[in-house]
Amino acid sequence: MPAQPIDFRIDNRVGAVVLQRPAFTTEMLNEFLAALTRAANEADILVISSSGEDFSLGRDRQEPRSGAPFDAFKLIAEVNAGLSAFPGIAVSVVRGRAFGFAVGMIMRTDIAIAAEDARFALDEVKLGIPPMFIMAEILEQLSPKSALDIIMSSREFSAAEAREMGLLSRLVPAGELHAAADELVRQLCERNPAVLLASKRYLGSVRQLPPAARGAYALVEQTRFAERSKH
């Protein structure tokens, strides 16, 4: 019996998605979306990793296409929205190659830990596809010149360069990757969940404000949190 494309489980409000295939098929995207929907209600932390040598090679370009393009694109948009809207802390744990759609997944997680020898690429332009779903998010992470370079050239780049660009949170030796991820999850589990979630929400909101308004917003939100914490 073939393995499921995604292994998903939740334990003590920590969700774990383990990608079992190197590239995303439609079935795999649907399973990922279902996992994200469940995690949004049942988990405070979500960890995304892979069982193979690579994190993910993106979309399966060999999968036969059926139906209207809009339906396929709508599913991708729903997965992206589900990951972006996850209310808790989403962590990606990256080893090997992360190409195409996988880069978008990493951008949409809150914390990204990668092995020092991981490799990245946005290969869509080389394949004749403008990566519009990636471009919808990439300027939140990278400068325009860095973004256009990796989009237009479709070149592979190293984990060190990805970290310098702002795509990754931290790098660790390949042999220590999962131990580092486990330690991060342990630390997050020790924190007050309300404080973690409030911090994430606040950081997302304050980025939308002009710098001059951020101090006043901090005063209001810090006071509101303190008042709620009394009850």
Domain ranges across the chain: 6-188, 192-229
- Is the pLDDT at 1 greater than 50? The verdict is no
> What confidence tier does 68 reach under pLDDT thresholds 50, 70, 90?
confident
- Is the pLDDT at 110 greater than 50? The verdict is yes
Query: What pLDDT, on a 0 to 100 scale, did the predictor assign at position 12?
Result: 95
Rounded CA separation 64/19 (Å): 21
pLDDT tens for 7-21 read: 999 999 999 999 999
Query: What pLDDT, on a 0 to 100 scale, did the predictor assign at position 62?
Result: 86
- Is the pLDDT at 2 greater than 60? The verdict is no
Rounded CA separation 218/198 (Å): 12
pLDDT tens for 118-159 read: 999 999 999 999 999 999 999 989 999 999 999 999 999 999
Q: What percent of the chain has pLDDT over 70?
A: 98
- Is the pLDDT at 66 greater than 80? The verdict is no
- Is the pLDDT at 116 greater than 80? The verdict is yes
Q: What is the pTM of this model?
A: 0.94
Rounded CA separation 105/157 (Å): 17
Write down the H helix ranges in the chain.
26-42, 69-84, 101-108, 132-138, 144-153, 159-165, 177-190, 193-206, 211-229
Rg of the chain, C-alpha, whole Å: 18
Rounded CA separation 148/139 (Å): 10
Superfamily grouping for domain 6-188? 2-enoyl-CoA Hydratase; Chain A, domain 1 (3.90.226.10)
User: What is each CA distance from 123 to 112, 176, 225, in whole angstroms?
Assistant: 20, 28, 44
Where does residue 85 rank: exposed (0-12), middle (13-18), buried (19+ CB within 10 A)?
Answer: exposed
Query: What pLDDT, on a 0 to 100 scale, did the predictor assign at position 35?
Result: 98
Query: What pLDDT, on a 0 to 100 scale, did the predictor assign at position 47?
Result: 98
Helix (H, G, I), strand (E, B) or coil at 10: strand
